[in-house]
Structure 1
Amino acid sequence: MKPARGGTSMHLTVEDALSVYPLSEGKLVAGAAGKNRIVKSVNVMDAPDIWDWIKDGEMLFTTGYLIKDDPQGGAGLLEQLNRRGSSGLGIKLGRFWEQIPPALILMADKLGFPLIQLPYEFTFSDQMNGLYRAEMQRSTKALQAAMEKQKRLMRFALQSDPILQLFEEISGVVGYPLAVVSAEGRALFNNSGVPEESLLRAWPWTGRHPWVKGEGWQCYRVPLLSGAKPAGYACFVTGEPLFTTLEEGLFHQAAELIAYQMEARIQSADNRSRQYEDQIRACLAGALPPAELAAYGESSGNSVLKGAYIPVLTSPGGTSDAAGRSARMERIRQEYGSHPVLSALGALHLDMEEGVLSLFPDGAGADELAEHLASCSGNLRKSAGCVARAAIGGRRSGEQSLASAWMELKETLRLAAEWGVPDPVVPYRKLELAYLFEHCPKERMAAFCDRVLGGLLRKEPEYRQEMLRTLEVYLDNDGQLSETAKKLYIHRNTASYRMDKISELLEVDLKKTDDLLRLKLAFQLRGMSAKAEEPAAALRTAGRK
C-alpha cells in the first residue's frame, strides 16, 4: 500500500525541527552527524515497502510496528532510507518497544542518519502540525524579507552608482556573497572569499544546471542574458546545503538587474569610446589640436594617452576590396581582444585607412609585446588566412607625441614592405637607421659597405654567406653570443670561433661600441643598396628580352 502523504513542502534542518514544539520534547538518540539534513516533508511509516515511496528529504514517523520483531531488519531499513535520501526516522516508544534497539542506534551512528525518540504524550499529527506551523511562519518571514529585498533592488535599478559599488550593494540586499564573471571568464567582482581559480573551475561553463559545488562552498549560478549569448554570470555563494525556491527567484531577479546595468554601462562606454576614436582620427588628420584631444579624454574618462603607451599599427594585408579589408581588420581586433595578455592591458583599437591602430598602455615591455603580437599573427594566418603585419613604435607619452608616433608606424610598414622584411612584427628601432639614410646616394652606400665588410665580401661565396649571416644574427641579438648560437642552431663554441674569425678578417673589436655601430649601419645600407638595385636589374633583364 502506498503511504499517505503528510504535510507540505518544508525547508528545515533536522536540528531546526527538533527545536519546534512539541517535537522539541523528543530527543536525538543517534546519527547526530546528520543533524543538518534538510527536512522537506514529514510522513508516517505504515507500509512494509516504504522505501519504494520515500522521497528525498522526507522524515518518517513510526511506532515501530513493522520492525518490532526484527531489530536487525530495522537496521537494514535505516540503510535503505539513507540511500533514498531520507532526512531521519522518528520512533514513538511505549507501545511496541520500551527502548530503541542497540542495533538501530549503532547503524544510525554509522550512517550519520538522525534517529529520534518521539515524545509519547503527543500524537503524530500534533508533531506534524507543529512543524507545519513553524514552516509557515518561516516562509512568511522569508516572503516579507524577499519583498523588501525586491523593493530595494528596484531602487538600485534607478541609480547610477559605479558598477563595483552596485555589485556590493546587491550582494548586501540578497544577503549572500556574490561573484560576477564576465563572458571572457574574468571575475569582475568577488566578495565570496572563494579563490578566483576555484570559482572559474571548468571554464568555459557549458552545463545547464545552476548548482556548482566546491570544497566547503557551493553557488547558484545565473547567466546574465544579453541577446542570444550570456554577457557573464552571477554566482551567489553559500556554505548552506541549498537555497529555497523563493531565494532562487530573488537571485534571478538580481541577475536581471546586473545584466541590465552592465549592458547600459557597456553601451555608454562604447559610445564614449567611439567618440574618443573619432577625436583621435581628427587629431591625426590635423583637424584637432592635441590639447583639445587631451581635454576630451579627461572629461570622458579615457586615459590611454595620459600615461606612457606603445603604439602599434597592424596592416590587414590581402586584397584591397573594402568588404574583405573590413572583415580582416575586425578579425584582428577580435584576436587582440581575446588574447589573455593583450586583452588585460586595456588597449584602445581603432580602424584607420592604413590598418588597425592600437594604443597599448605601457604594461609590458616592447619585446614582450612583440612576442604576443607575433603569436596573434600566427593565429590569424592559421584560422582566417589573414597575413597581418604589425609595426611597433617607440614608447610615447601624452597626446602631443601621437602624430609623430603615427608617422613612425606608417614609415615602418612602408620600409618593411620595400625591403621585403619577412617578419610579421617589425619594431621601428629595427629600421630606424634605414629611415635615416634612406636618401643617401647608392654609390656612397656601396663604398661604405665595401670599406667595412670588404674582408668578408671578397671571400668565397659559401664561406662569405655563412659568416655574414652569423655576423648579422650577432648584431640583431645585441652581441649576445648564446642567443646567436641558439638562433643559428650551432654550438656556442662554434659561434665564438666564427666571431673571432670575423673580427680578424674585418679588423674590428666587437667589444667596442663604435665598431658595432659601423657594422650595424653597413648591414642596413647593404640591404637598402640591394633593394635599390632590384628595379634596375629588372629593367636590364627586360631590355635583353
Structure 2
Amino acid sequence: MHMTVEQALSVYPLTEARLVAGDAGKNRIVKAVNVMDAPDITDWIKEGEMVFTTAYLFKDRPGEAAELVRKLDRRGSSGLGVKLGRFWSAIPEEMIAAADDLGFPLIELPYPFTFSDQMNALFREELRRSTVELQTVLDKQVRLMRFALQSGHIRQLFESVMEVIGCPIAVIGSRGQVVFNGTGHADSGLVELWPWKPLAQRVRTAAGQAFRVPLMKQAQCTGFVLFYYKSPVLSPVEENLYLQAAELIGFHKDFKIEDYVEWTVRRDIGLLIKRHLKHGLTLEKLEECLDRWEIDLLGRPYRCVLTDIPGPSIASMRAERLQQLKREMQHYAGLEPFGGVHVVLEEGLLSVYRDDPEDPDGPLETALADCLAAWPSGQGKPRACCSTRKQHAGDLRAAFAECLEAQRTSDAWAIAASVVNYETIDLAILFEQVDANRMRAFCRRLLGGLQSKDADYTAEMLRTLETYLECDGQLGETARRLYIHRNTAAYRIEKLSEMLDIDFKKTDDLLRLKLAFLFRRRLGSGDARTAMER
C-alpha cells in the first residue's frame, strides 16, 4: 500500500472520519494498517503503518495516550485513528497537543463502521489504484514501442518520450553538458554535484525530485536521463517504465546522431565547401553536388560560423581539439534544427547553418552560446564568429570573409563574448584608429555615474548593461543569460538609466553605450572602475 494520509481519508468510509490534529503530516505515506490490542504494540510498529485503536488500554490515562503519540512518531508511523463512542467520548487535549506539535496525523474514526470495514476499503482502493497504474504504464509502454519504430530528429525523440511518460525530462551528456532540457529550469540547476556515478537512483535537484538513469553503451556511460516526477512516492512499476524509456533514449541518441549515411554526406559537403573557399572549386560545381544530394543548404537563408579555441600552436594538438569541437557541435541537440555542415580549416572550425528569420527554435546565437558553454574550462574558451545572414549561394565567400574579419577584430578589441556577430563589431572596425585618450574620456563621460559605487556593484551593473545591449534590449533574454529573474533585470536597467542619465528608448543613447563598451574592450579594461578612471 502506498497512499498519503490525505488520500486515505478520501476513501469511504474513512470519508466520515475527521483529522483532529497533525494536519502538517497529512502527506505521510500509509504503507499498511494495524490494529492496537496490546500495550507494547509500539515495539512492533513498522515505518509507514497506520494504527487503529478503541483507546481501551489507556482510557483512564490520557497522559499515556499523549506519550503513545510520541512513540508512534519516533517509530515512523503514518498516523493514529481513534474510534470514539465506546471508551472515550472525546480525544484528550494532551493527545491533540502532542500530535499537533509533531505533525502526526490524529484521526477520529467513524463509530458506525468496524475496523475491518475501513481496512478493507483501503485495500480495495489500493488494488484499484494499482490496476489503473499498471494499465497506464502498459499503455505508455505500447506508445514507446510504437515510437521506437519510427524515424525522426533526436529532439523529436526527447519531446515524444516526455509526452508519453507524462513528466518533464532532461538529458545530460557524458561530460555534464545539458543535451535536452524540458523542465523549464536553468541548465545549471540540473547538473549539481557532477560527476555522477552510473547508478539509477532518486535524487533532488534545483528543478525538483527526479529519478536519474544512466545511459549505457557497451558498459560505458554516455550520459543520463532525469525524469522529474510529481507524486510523493515512486512505485517500482514507474521505475521500470523510466528504465525502459532511458534504454530507448540511449539507443536512439547514439543511432540517430551517429547515423553513417547522414554523417558521410555532411562530411563530403564540408570538404566541398573547403575546396570552394580554398582551392578554386567553382560555385556551379558545389551547387551541382548539393542538388544531387538533395541538400538545400545554400538555397535558403544561411550563416557561416567560424569557431576557434585558444591553445597550443602545435598543429596536431590544435587539429585534435578542433575535431573534438566539431563532434560536440554535430551532436548538440540545440543546434540540430539548423542543419549544420562543418569542416576544419586552418582558421578554425567553419560551420554553415540554416538561419530562417522566423525560426521557431530560437536564434542561432543562443544555441551556439549554450553549446560552447559546456566546453571544459581547462581546454580554453571557444569563440564563434558569425557572418550576417546570406540569401544566395554566391555569398558564401563573402560570409566567410565576414567571419574572418569578426575573428580578427575580436582579437584586436579583446572581445570576450563566446558568440560574436559581424554586424555588432562593424562599429569597432570604423573606430580602430581613434586615439586611446579620446576613448578613455568618452568612457568616463558616459559611464562616470557608476564611478562612486562599490567595485562589485559597478562590475555587476556593467555586466548587466553590456548583456542588455548584446540582446538588443530584450529583457527576457538578458535575464536568461545572466541567470536572474526578469524583474531583477528590469530593475537594474531602470537604475542604470537614472545613474547614467540615459534613455534606453533613444537610438543615440544606445549607440553611445555600444561605443563605450567597444572602447573599453579596445583599452583592455578588465576592471570596470579602472576603465572609467583612465
TM-score (norm 2): 0.59
Deviations 1:304-325 (A, max 9, x none): 99534254688997677xxxx2
Q: Relative to structure 1, is the Cα distance of residues 297 and 43 closer, same or farther in structure 2, using a 3 angstrom cutoff?
A: farther
Q: Quick one: distance in 2 between partners of 1:82 and 1:266?
A: 53
User: Which of 67, 75, 96 pairs up with 2:66?
Assistant: 75
Q: Secondary structure at the match of 1:159?
A: coil
Displacement of 1:150: 0.9
**Residue segments in structure 2 that go unaligned for 5+ positions in a row:** 356-362, 413-429, 442-534
Q: RMSD between aligned alpha carbons?
A: 4.9
Instruction: Please give the residue correspondences for 1:81-480 in structure 2 after superposition, counting only pairs within 5 Å.
Output: 81-183=72-174, 184-186=176-178, 188-190=180-182, 192=183, 194-197=184-187, 199-200=189-190, 202=192, 204=194, 206=196, 208=199, 210-213=201-204, 217-268=208-259, 270-283=263-276, 289-294=282-287, 299-300=294-295, 307-311=302-306, 325=316, 328-334=318-324, 349-351=342-344, 356-359=348-351, 399-400=393-394, 478-480=433-435
| Letter matched to residue 309 of structure 1 | C
Q: Secondary structure at the match of 1:293?
A: helix
Q: Quick one: distance in 2 between partners of 1:198 and 1:49?
A: 51
Contact 2:141 2:241 in 1 (8 A): yes
Contact 2:387 2:403 in 1 (8 A): no
Q: Does 2:18 match 1:63?
A: no
**Residue segments in structure 1 that go unaligned for 5+ positions in a row:** 1-9, 383-387, 413-424, 431-474, 487-545
| Letter matched to residue 479 of structure 1 | V
Q: Secondary structure at the match of 1:255?
A: helix
Displacement of 1:22: 3.8
Deviations 1:169-228 (A, max 9, x none): 3333223233444444336241x4x42257425163526563333679433233333455
Q: Secondary structure at the match of 2:45?
A: coil
Q: Relative to structure 1, is the Cα distance of residues 74 and 283 closer, same or farther in structure 2, using a 3 angstrom cutoff?
A: same
Q: Quick one: distance in 1 between partners of 2:88 and 2:384?
A: 89
Q: Relative to structure 1, is the Cα distance of residues 480 and 229 closer, same or farther in structure 2, using a 3 angstrom cutoff?
A: farther
Contact 1:14 1:38 in 2 (8 A): yes
Contact 1:392 1:426 in 2 (8 A): no
Displacement of 1:482: 4.1
Question: What's the counterpart of residue 534 of structure 1?
Answer: none
Q: Quick one: distance in 1 between partners of 2:212 and 2:10?
A: 32
Q: Quick one: distance in 2 between partners of 1:227 and 1:189?
A: 25
Q: Secondary structure at the match of 1:257?
A: helix
Contact 1:41 1:59 in 2 (8 A): yes
Q: Secondary structure at the match of 1:107?
A: helix
Q: Quick one: distance in 2 between partners of 1:19 and 1:392?
A: 61
Deviations 1:43-82 (A, max 9, x none): 2334555445433322122233444343223223323333
Q: Quick one: distance in 1 between partners of 2:201 and 2:257?
A: 26
Q: Relative to structure 1, is the Cα distance of residues 182 and 159 closer, same or farther in structure 2, using a 3 angstrom cutoff?
A: same
Q: Relative to structure 1, is the Cα distance of residues 331 and 112 closer, same or farther in structure 2, using a 3 angstrom cutoff?
A: same
TM-score (norm 1): 0.58
Displacement of 1:152: 1.1
Contact 2:137 2:238 in 1 (8 A): yes
Contact 2:81 2:106 in 1 (8 A): yes
Displacement of 1:273: 3.0
Sequence identity, in percent?
40
Displacement of 1:157: 0.8
Question: What's the counterpart of residue 469 of structure 1?
Answer: none
Which deviates the most, 283-292 or 131-140? 283-292
